[in-house]
C-alpha cells in the first residue's frame, strides 16, 4: 500500500513538473485621451501610451491586455486591482498608492501658449489675461489658483485652441504632448501663435498596482522599461505625436 501511494505521488509530482506554469498576463489600463490613445487615426497610430505599453511588454516577453478607459476609471481600476499597470505621471499620491516600476520619460511639460503678439516669461505675466484651461485640469497649479488670471474653462483642447484662434482668450494651458498633438491635427504652426512657455515639469512612469503581479514579472517589466529608455525608444515614440517644428 505504501509502495502504491509512493508511485501515485511520484506520478502526480512528475505530471505537475512537466506542465509549464501559466504565464501571467499583465492587464494595462490606458487613458482614453488623445494622443495617449487614438481611435481611427489617419496615420494608423494607436496612441502614445498604447505604443509605450506595447513596447515594454514585447521587450519583456509578457502577454498583455489593454483597456482604453476614461482617466478616472483607469486610476480606480488600479486601486481596486481590476487592472495591473498603467502609464501615469508620477505625483505624491501615485507614489504612495502604486508601485513605481520604472521611469519612462523625465520631462512631461505643462505649458501655456499665447496668442500672437503676447509674450510672457512668468505666470504673473498672465495677470489680467484670459486663459483657457480644460475642465478638471491642473487644479493645484498657479494657473488655476491665481485669482488675477481670468480662467476660462473649456471642454477640450480643441475648444481651447478654437477660442484662441477666434480671439476669445489670450492664452491656452495644457500638457505639451496633448497641445502639440492638437496643433498637428489643426495644422497650427509657430506663425499662428505667440510663445510656448513651459512652467511645470513632470515625469512619466510605468506604475503597477500593489500586490497584483509576481516579483518576476515586475522585474521583467522594470528591466524592459529601463532598456527601452536607454535606447531612446520612448523619445522616438513621443516624437511621432508632435509636429516637427514643436519638437
Task: State how far the Cα of 229 lies from the Cα of 236, in Å rounded to an integer.
Answer: 10
Task: State how far the Cα of 36 lies from the Cα of 10, in Å rounded to an integer.
Answer: 52
pLDDT at 23: 63
pLDDT tens string, the chain, 247 residues long: the values are: 444 344 333 333 333 333 334 468 999 999 998 999 999 998 999 999 999 999 999 999 999 999 999 888 999 999 999 999 999 988 888 999 999 999 999 888 999 999 999 999 999 999 999 999 988 778 778 898 999 999 999 999 999 999 999 999 999 999 999 999 999 999 999 999 999 999 988 899 999 999 999 999 999 999 999 999 999 999 999 989 888 888 7
Give first-to-last CA distance, the chain, whole Å. Answer: 76
Identify the CA nearest to 195 among candidates 97, 82, 113, 85: 113
DSSP string, 200-220: EEEEEEEEE-TTTS-HHHHHH
CATH of region 109-201: 3.40.190.10
CA-only gyration radius of the chain, Å: 23
pLDDT at 107: 82
Identify the CA nearest to 178 among candidates 134, 125, 143: 134
pLDDT at 247: 73
Contacts of 226 (CB under 8 A, 6+ apart): 102
**114 - beta bridge partners?**
171
What φ, ψ does residue 138 adopt, rounded to 5°? 55, 40
Instruction: Give the side-chain half-sphere CA count within 13 A for 98.
Output: 29
Contacts of 178 (CB under 8 A, 6+ apart): 33, 34, 35, 157
Q: Answer yes or no: same fold for 24-108+203-246 and 109-201.
A: yes
Fold assignment, 24-108+203-246: D-Maltodextrin-Binding Protein; domain 2 (3.40.190)
Annotate 5-24 with b (16+ C-beta within 10 A) or e (fewer): eeeeeeeeeeeeeeeeeeeb
Q: H or E segment at 107?
A: strand 99-114
User: What residues does each domain of the chain span?
Assistant: 24-108+203-246, 109-201
Amino acid at each position: 500500500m505504501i509502495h502504491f501511494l509512493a508511485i501515485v505521488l511520484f506520478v502526480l509530482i512528475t505530471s505537475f513538473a512537466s506542465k509549464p506554469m501559466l504565464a501571467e498576463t499583465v492587464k494595462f489600463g490606458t487613458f482614453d485621451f488623445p494622443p495617449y490613445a487614438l481611435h481611427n487615426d489617419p496615420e494608423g497610430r494607436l496612441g502614445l501610451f498604447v505604443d509605450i505599453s506595447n513596447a515594454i511588454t514585447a521587450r519583456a516577453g509578457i502577454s498583455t491586455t489593454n483597456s482604453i478607459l476614461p482617466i478616472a476609471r483607469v486610476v480606480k481600476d488600479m486601486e481596486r486591482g481590476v487592472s495591473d499597470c498603467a502609464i501615469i505621471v508620477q505625483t505624491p499620491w501615485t507614489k504612495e498608492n502604486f508601485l513605481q516600476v520604472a521611469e519612462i520619460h523625465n520631462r512631461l511639460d505643462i505649458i501655456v501658449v499665447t496668442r500672437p503678439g503676447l509674450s510672457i516669461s512668468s505666470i504673473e505675466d498672465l495677470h489680467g489675461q484670459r486663459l483657457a484651461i480644460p475642465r478638471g485640469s491642473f487644479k493645484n497649479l498657479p494657473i488655476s489658483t491665481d485669482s488675477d488670471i481670468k480662467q476660462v474653462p473649456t471642454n477640450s483642447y480643441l475648444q481651447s485652441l478654437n477660442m484662441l484662434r477666434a480671439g476669445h482668450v489670450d492664452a491656452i494651458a495644457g500638457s505639451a504632448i496633448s497641445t502639440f498633438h492638437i496643433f498637428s491635427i489643426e495644422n497650427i504652426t509657430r506663425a499662428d501663435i505667440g510663445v510656448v512657455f513651459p512652467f511645470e515639469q513632470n515625469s512619466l512612469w510605468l506604475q503597477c498596482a500593489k500586490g497584483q503581479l509576481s516579483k518576476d514579472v515586475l522585474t521583467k517589466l522594470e528591466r524592459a522599461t529601463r532598456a527601452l529608455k536607454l535606447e531612446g525608444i520612448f523619445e522616438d515614440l513621443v516624437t511621432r505625436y508632435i509636429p516637427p517644428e514643436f519638437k
